[in-house]
Amino acid sequence: MNTEIVSAVRAGLACSGSEADDSSQTGATALVRAESSEGCAKAIKLLREGEAVALPTETVYGLAADALNPDAVAKIFEAKERPRFDPLIVHLPKREALDEIAIAESQLARDLIENFWPGPLTIIFRKRDIVPDIVTAGLETVAVRMSAHPVFREVVSAVNRPLAAPSANRFGRVSPTTAQHVLDELEGRIPLIVDGGATEHGIESTIVRIVDGVIEVSRWGPITEEILHQFGEVRERRSTSMIIAPGQLPTHYAPKTRLIMIKRLQDFSAMPGKRTGALSLSPAAGTGDPGSPRPTATTTTADFAAVRYLSERGDLREAAANLFRMLRELDAENLDLIVAERVPEKGIGAAINDRLERALNRCTD
Ligand code: TXA
Ligand code: MG
């Protein structure tokens, strides 16, 4: 199967149907820019026909299909090689569509929707019968969100159906934050990728559910604990012994190269003859004082075959946006080991550390 890329000029650009088509063919992969006449129209047509299509969201790229069409949803599982027991997030065309697929009784949930939709917050509700079992892996609940990305919004509004869309990577791999990442993961497996540039947040949405009036978080993301606290009590949902959601499994976000996580990069002793890569928040990170330079220590950046700083100025939002791209870059450097330094646990830093922890174990696929 051929894979096409439809490019938007920059992140945040919605589709346009007015300009000339500048699609090109490179090997098995056709490239069609979003601002071309084909733009999102092709995605809309394919989704209506029950195909799975990759689209940008403000978090990471998603692989979307009509959530109410089980055959279409099955194509997502096939392309990703995702086990059927792992449920998908459903993306709404508009807020009012929530009541068609879920039972949203909690006022607190309604407050969160009011404040964060469209945006990077996924909320788990009791599902209605209309949602096929394949979407929820047979669960009585459904995870729902509404993307704020203009390209995604335009497509889902035109299709006017809820779209199931997990991250557009093969199962067990790092989520894609550019169309090229999607291509690397799914080339030949899906008919179309719509390119909206690099995604804004770079990590997946925060996932919550309301339990007894408390906001329970099962995945940290761009909507942080500090933000959620303004709406009520927040607690982390502890995974039960029966793990049914590989998003909570330790290997879910793994690069191929072995990765370890340490508190301070300068405490790491490089192994002679081994190619080691370093991932750190900024040149000044890990010193205890964000303003001070790295102390002269046993390890300097010269000891590493490759170094990536998530944000030169130590900005955690920028760091999150760069995280998966830099993990992919280090993964491509033929390293024996990646040493990642913990980032401060505040704000979105908690989500960054969470994704690094999940990457600790090598993935086997
Ligand atoms: O930002 C995002 O959320 C991206 C974009 C594309 O929307 N999507 C995403 O989907 O990260 P995915 O499938 O890669 O991660 C969704 C997580 C999985 O860990 C899944 O197990 C969990 O949500 N999940 C989905 N439905 C659930 C449910 N009913 N109960 C508990 N967990 C659920
Ligand atoms: Mg995923």
Of the chain, the end-to-end C-alpha distance in Å amounts to 22
Question: Cα angle at 190 between 182 and 157, to 5 degrees?
Answer: 85
Q: Which of 72, 80, 65, 73 is nearest to 252 (CA)?
A: 80
Other beta carbons within 10 Å of 334: 11
**Confidence at residue 311, expressed as pLDDT on a 0 to 100 scale:** 98
| Residue 117 confidence class, pLDDT cut points 50, 70, 90 | very high
Q: What is the pLDDT of residue 299?
A: 55
* Half-sphere CA count of 263, side-chain side, radius 13 A: 3
DSSP codes joined into one string, 90-122: EE-SSGGGHHHHEE---HHHHHHHHHHSSEEEE
CB contact set of 303 (below 8 Å; sequence gap of 6+): 270, 276
Residues in contact with ligand 1 by the CB-under-6-Å rule are 57, 59-60, 62, 86-89, 120, 122, 124, 136, 139, 141-143, 165-167, 204-205, 207, 245, 247
Ligand that lies nearest to the alpha carbon of residue 249, given by its number in the listed order: 1
Query: How confident is the model over 184-203, as a mean pLDDT?
Result: 94
Which residue puts its alpha carbon closest to atom 17 of ligand 1?
247
- Per-residue pLDDT band at 272 (split at 50, 70, 90): confident
Which ligand sits closest to the CA of 219? 1
Tell me the pLDDT of the chain averaged across its residues: 85
